[in-house]
Amino acid sequence: MKLFSSLVALVALSLSQVVPAAAEADDGPDLPSRISRLTIGYVLNDDGSFTETREIAVKALKETAVKSVKHSSVTFSTSIQKAEVLRAYTQKADGRTLDAPKANLQVEANSGQGQNAPAFSDLTTLSVVFPDVEIGDTVVFSYKITASEPIFPNHFSAQNYFPKTVAYDDVRIRIDAPAQLWTQHQARSLTEVTDTVANGRHVLEWTYANPNPIKNLRKNYSAYDIEQEPGFAFSTFRDHAQIAAAYGARAIPKAAPTERVQKLAAEIVGNRTNPREITKALYEWVATNITYAGNCIGIGAVVPRDLDVVLDNRMGDCKDHATLLQALLAAKGIDSTQALVNSGSAYRLPKIPLVSMVNHVINYIPAFDLYLDSTSNSTPFGILPFEDADKPVLWVQGVRDGSKTPADQIGLNEQTMKTTLNVRDDGSASGEVTVTLKGRYAADVRSRMKPLQKEIEAELVKNMFKEMGYVATGTFDKDDPAGLGDTYRYGAKFDVAKLVQYPGVGAFAINPLIFNEAPIWHYVAGALQNDNEAHEEACSNGRSIEEYKLVLPKKMQVLGAPENMKVVNDFLTYEATSVRKGNVLTVRRVLDDRTRGNLCSQQIADEYRKFANQVLPNLKAQVVFR
């Protein structure tokens, strides 16, 4: 779970649950569906509790949309909320109305045994299946959520955005709040209907329509700024620091080291005395011993569980991980704070402070200027999971404006792949490939190797070549994937029938023969894939080295081979060399990506595409022979 997302996103962004993916525009006005009507209403109480009502009407315009619009759902917290379906029906194209029968309403709940509250989630999903939906019909879903208790005492925040690629015919938003409640709001491309204060209530109303959506050319959503889309944001928080303080008010007391935690910390640390080594040991224990699970919502979405519960179950969500690690560090005299971050595609904090935009909790150790995320059981000490990196961060204690998690350091990520291939006179070949990795590349591969079963490993080489259309035998070996090391090695030995069509005249490309984390072609293909993109993208740096030694048949005459090449710009270098001595051809390729930061502008993406177009012919070049 990502902090808060389970409740706040469900309430504030519930449009995503009732609008089918098919509602996305595909080619201008040629839409699979359109949102004929959307009404959103909030009525707030003095303590931040609220009622929310929504009605959405979606018209199916194509067969591709019929399946997706037939089903809608809303998810809520059983412990502090209740949901009520006001009406669900199909409006036929001929005007008939078909109400969804009670049998079409389904409830999926997480609950504890007997009278016990659920230990790790009280998530309830209320779903409806609409009857007899055909092209030209409209499905209408209306529901009400009553929150008897706010996530944070005396606070509320909500938002909705309306993608420009979706057709909206009529959107109406109304927020009714106590006049004495301090609030702030933002409306983007909406038409204000009213902003009035009367009879002790502050009422805001907007409308919006987008009958002619733009064509959706976007493929890469790795970085997404909702403030670039029409929508609204509403909050009782004055700034983001107040969100962190509200979280900390109930989380910090939970991080006090109990006698059990102190004893556990001593066992984990052993005879270590160096503070950094102590921190590393505690981090690795939590990351590898506490399962990351339990999508707790309700008040549990922002209040960590008691440490005994986490330790007894050896399981917890992000706030449980962060609280336990903070307590263990405190037990050994190491100061730390929890920190809130967005682990999704948002790389900026919105102007209006919203709980849903800081959806994950990690740890920060001031003495080492170090961030840790123990919810990842494969990320080495000193590195953050990619989704946490280079993001605005809110320290729960000692808030400092402008704080950001670090991006990957240049040189952190590296792959070296060495291939030796001996081609025989009949075109068959034997060979060996070794892959060594550093940094995030090593962590990612180590994680994927952990669940690899012995029986699959035994057939791995055979199946890899089979997928490429070859018959092969071979063996695969790897380092032990256990632990959280930042280096890793694996490799394969193989024998392949008819790898090269020889004797005769032909050609073959020089490419990786087994899977690997960072093949050079992947960098190039990724840069060229989104050639119509016009927005920021998530990015990183890395170095990939590929070395090929090809021992060819002595009778084979090489007519052509890849040429040497060097391409350089401000942050990328590609260098390829090809050397032939007798019947041995050695090819070496190095791509060095020195991108700084995890968010790349359109200009950087354009430069990467230019670079990739220069490099691509060299990667496609073949060895021509007879």
Per-residue pLDDT tens digits for 208-218: 999 999 988 88
**Residues spanned by the domain of 496:** 414-625
Q: What pTM value is reported for the model?
A: 0.89
The DSSP bridge partners found for residue 341 are 360, 393
Task: State residue 524's pLDDT score.
Answer: 87
Residue 30 included in any domain: yes
Same domain, 504 and 590: yes
pLDDT band at 295 (very low <50, low <70, confident <90, very high): low
pLDDT band at 368 (very low <50, low <70, confident <90, very high): very high
Residue 377 included in any domain: yes
Same domain, 80 and 180: yes
Same domain, 562 and 452: yes
Residue 75 included in any domain: yes
Same domain, 388 and 475: no
Quickly list DSSP for 26-80.
SSTT--SEEEEEEEEEEEE-TTS-EEEEEEEEEEE-SHHHHHHHTEEEEEEETTT
pLDDT digits 0-9 by tens, 63-83: 999 999 999 999 988 888 999
pLDDT digits 0-9 by tens, 89-109: 999 999 999 999 999 999 887
Per-residue CA distances from 372 to 255, 393, 511, 582 (Å): 16, 12, 37, 53
Same domain, 391 and 422: no
Out of 395, 425, 446, pick the residue that ends a domain: 395
Residue 72 included in any domain: yes
Radius of gyration of the chain, Cα coordinates, nearest whole angstrom: 29
Same domain, 366 and 445: no
The answer to whether the CB of 333 falls within 8 A of the CB of 341 is no
| Strands 191-198 vs 97-99: parallel, antiparallel or unpaired | unpaired
Mean of the pLDDT values across residues 425-454? 95
pLDDT band at 531 (very low <50, low <70, confident <90, very high): low
Same domain, 508 and 388: no
Mean of the pLDDT values across residues 550-554? 97
Task: State residue 21's pLDDT score.
Answer: 40
Rounded to an integer, what distance in angstroms lies between the CA atom of residue 346 and that of residue 349?
A: 8
Out of 219, 253, 274, pick the residue that ends a domain: 219
Mean of the pLDDT values across residues 473-479? 96
Per-residue CA distances from 79 to 257, 310, 361 (Å): 28, 20, 23
Same domain, 603 and 486: yes
pLDDT band at 10 (very low <50, low <70, confident <90, very high): very low
Q: Residue 474 is encoded by which pair of tokens?
A: 């071979």
Mean pLDDT of the chain: 91
The answer to whether the CB of 331 falls within 8 A of the CB of 282 is no
pLDDT digits 0-9 by tens, 227-256: 999 999 999 999 999 999 999 999 999 999
Tell the burial category of 53 from Cβ atoms under 10 Å away from its Cβ (0-12, 13-18, 19+): middle
Q: Is the predicted pLDDT of residue 14 greater than 60, yes or no?
A: no
The answer to whether the CB of 363 falls within 8 A of the CB of 279 is no
Same domain, 366 and 486: no
pLDDT band at 302 (very low <50, low <70, confident <90, very high): confident
Alpha helices in 290-402 (DSSP H): 307-313, 318-331
Per-residue CA distances from 513 to 377, 455, 462, 465, 500 (Å): 29, 21, 12, 8, 13
Q: Is the predicted pLDDT of residue 286 greater than 60, yes or no?
A: yes
Task: Using the structure block, give the residue that is written with the tokens 């944070």.
Answer: 152
pLDDT band at 8 (very low <50, low <70, confident <90, very high): very low
Task: State residue 118's pLDDT score.
Answer: 55
Mean of the pLDDT values across residues 430-453? 95
Per-residue CA distances from 524 to 411, 417, 521, 529, 540 (Å): 19, 17, 5, 9, 14
Q: What percentage of the chain reaches a pLDDT higher than 70?
A: 92
Same domain, 114 and 141: yes
Out of 185, 204, 219, pick the residue that ends a domain: 219
Same domain, 371 and 418: no
Q: What percentage of the chain reaches a pLDDT higher than 90?
A: 82
Which amino acid type is present at position 7?
L
Same domain, 124 and 169: yes
The 360-365 sheet, strands edge to edge: 370-372, 360-365, 337-341, 393-395
Task: State residue 534's pLDDT score.
Answer: 72
Residue 229 included in any domain: no
pLDDT digits 0-9 by tens, 580-603: 999 999 999 999 999 999 999 989
Quickly list DSSP for 365-397.
EGGGTEEE-TT-SSPPTT---GGGTT-BEEESS
Rounded to an integer, what distance in angstroms lies between the CA atom of residue 85 and that of residue 139?
A: 14
CATH label of the domain that carries residue 481 = 2.60.120.1130
Q: Is the predicted pLDDT of residue 414 greater than 80, yes or no?
A: yes
Torsion of CA 323, 325, 330, 332, to 10 degrees: 160
Q: What's the total number of domains in the chain?
A: 3
CATH label of the domain that carries residue 284 = 3.10.620.30
Residue 270 included in any domain: yes
The DSSP bridge partners found for residue 548 are 419, 587
